[in-house]
Structure 1
């Protein structure tokens, strides 16, 4: 019998479950039972409680399910962090006086991403945003001419590139997790692939980001 405290029980469960009928009990369910005195007597006390039916075993999913949980739990903080990167990009643009974040619904979309690349490249021609705008964003061309601002300096370009690189790294990792889940027969929200930032790698020629865009979560 093992008390489930944090993740400390896992290695012991893995070692013992192959040969023994290991019972995992929830710490919340046993902490208020009478007779528990010191840490030294905890093991004997817990065993006696189990023998007399005073504790209920917790459900331990089979190994494939536990591995699937590990994959989904690894994915959650990555998607959260990716959203935080978008917020940092928007804040960075606001600090430079650029109105791109206010005009565009998705600063990592096809048009907005191309405009970001123009900013990183040091583009100063006010006609550039209108040339790069696609679809609905073309309705905002008058406002887009104000996107390129002299306050967007090399410092901001450097930080923007770092954020975009980090976003792409997280997206690649999320896609690998999604593929792993799919290979193991998982379904649900993970079956929808996120859309990466898709900016051109440093020192490589630009390409259409829509070439490998997927539905973004």
Structure 2
């Protein structure tokens, strides 16, 4: 879970402690979103929109995911672009809730598939080369390969 942008060691541990690592107890992404209280509300009848309040859910998970969402929108990831698109129309708080909902769906997928998260907007190969190139150059100089 620490591969998800904005997620620290402590927040990942708290989320695992609250949610658990067995995703079979939830009825899919909609079930975990409903349990956490992050599913979007929609109360519309005859074309008239009424209150779109969110339901009550696990307060600890909701709070943690909002903190992770605030950290994730400050990284260079898909969450930053999503947030910038939403904040203009919806405002900061509703945008953070939307990002927290997206993060919860990603956490569900990561935990159910048991694979690390890969952001589509990040070029991991370029990051690895940029991070390791000084060390590679030092080794080439050390062994007279240049």
TM-score normalised according to structure 1 size: 0.23
Q: Of the two, which has the highest radius of gyration?
A: 1
Q: Identify the structure with the greater helix proportion.
A: 2
Q: Which has the higher contact order (CA 8 A, sep 6+)?
A: 2
